[in-house]
Amino acid sequence: MNEEYDVIVLGTGLKECIISGLLSVDKKKVLHVDRNNYYGGESASLNLVQLFERFRAGAAPPPSLGPSRDYNVDMVPKFMMANGKLVRVLLHTDVVKYLEFKAVDGSYVLQKGKIHKVPANDSEALRSPLMGLFEKRRARNFFLYVQDYEESDPKTHKGLDLHRMTMAELYKYYDLTEDTQDFIGHALALHRDDAYLTQSAMPTVLRIKLYHESLFRYEGLNSPYLYPRYGLGELPQAFARLSAVYGGTYMLNQPAVEVMYENGVAVGIKNGADVARAKLVVGDPSYFPDRVRVVGKVVRAIAIMNHPIPNTDNAHSVQIILPQKQTGRKSDMYVFCCSYAHNVAAKDKWLAFVSTTMETANPEAELSAGMALLGPVEEKFIEVRDICEPVDDGTKDQAFISKGYDATTHFETTVDDVLDMYRRITGRDLDLTAKEPVQVEA
């Protein structure tokens, strides 16, 4: 350990492992350290014994749940957009060769107390109860406009300036109702609240295009989402393998590690009597307690069930978005479900997760609308986590700190943070030019 490195990375959460892998590919000499004896940090996947140890120390899992080794329970559950930035990072780095992906069965949205499948094609849209007949025609015109829109081709703009026009004005132009706006803005564009309505329409149109492109990236998909077999804990390990291939050094189970500073600049780490120096240090917020601030809290429920979520066509994997207006909240709620079909639970068991940004002092009550959708559960665990952000961008003190994980059940905000960190560290954008798509099992 007593060496000089280009970069030292602290924590093996997904963001840190992606950065470590990318910088290793860039021929940087990387030392990657974690205080835990397992990969994943806050985004780890736990077996059943580890899960009970975390939430009910000293309690053993009941035999009815099946073997502990059959479980890979994500602490920060998220799906990947099939044409999203994370998949493109996986392709760029060739990490896909270490992973197996399975298509997610469906994307749903709550409207007026009922969950409805977000239409995956024209025929589903025509049958969907989300919209009435005349509204479907108006929505169809809106979606055709969005799908055809190309910023570089003024012919596709139809006289509209999406940079100056707000999203509320674009909805009004197509005469879409509030209910339609609600499911488009939250279940397709994946906004977490309604602040986007008063902002430029361009970012939302690009988000809707991404949803559509992801839906049609692979033949026969019923949602735009993918999920790796054996859980998200496979992702940090895959990037760790990538870093190791390019010469990265890994050290787990290092609980005493701390960052060294000279004249206010991060210059390496101390680990007992050992010292490792580097040009810069990267890590998750837990390694930099005096350089981060708490900007919110996420509450998550983990449920183990012996059935799929009701009203989802017996799906093995779904996302359900509960837009803020539908639950009387200021921010959205998310339900994520996967099952033994993804090698994350014992035979005939499902895992469901409900998450949201905390708005009151009663976290369990805040999740009630999402929990009500699950039906009977065998076991339930509740956790509240701080969302931390760095107080500055790291360019002055050479300490580049990731943001905490939000309540969303998709990876778009996660990868935005990684790409922003990469840009600040290297001074350039990562080239995400698309390659051949990954192999996906329907």
Reduced to 3 states (helix: H, G, I; strand: E, B; else coil), residue 386 is strand
Where the chain has pLDDT below 50, the residues are none
Which ranges in 7-130 belong to alpha helices (H)? 14-25, 48-55, 85-93, 122-127
Displacement of CA 309 from its chain's centroid (Å):
21
Rounded distance, CA 146 to CA 441, Å? Answer: 29
pTM exceeds 0.75, yes or no: yes
* pLDDT at res. 240: 85
Instruction: Give the single-character DSSP code of 410.
Output: B
What pLDDT digit, counting tens, does each position of 353-409 carry?
999 999 999 999 999 999 999 999 999 999 999 999 999 999 999 999 999 999 888
Among 25, 58, 23, smallest CA distance to 246 is for 25
Instruction: Give the single-character DSSP code of 430.
Output: -
* pLDDT at res. 438: 61
The sheet carrying 292-305 orders its strands as: 114-117, 106-111, 318-322, 333-339, 350-357, 292-305, 379-390
137, HSE (Cβ side, Cα atoms, 13 Å): 2
Rounded distance, CA 336 to CA 370, Å? Answer: 10
* pLDDT at res. 104: 92
Structural domains for the chain: 4-44+232-293+389-426 (3.50.50.60), 56-105+294-387 (3.30.519.10), 119-216 (1.10.405.10)
* pLDDT at res. 442: 61
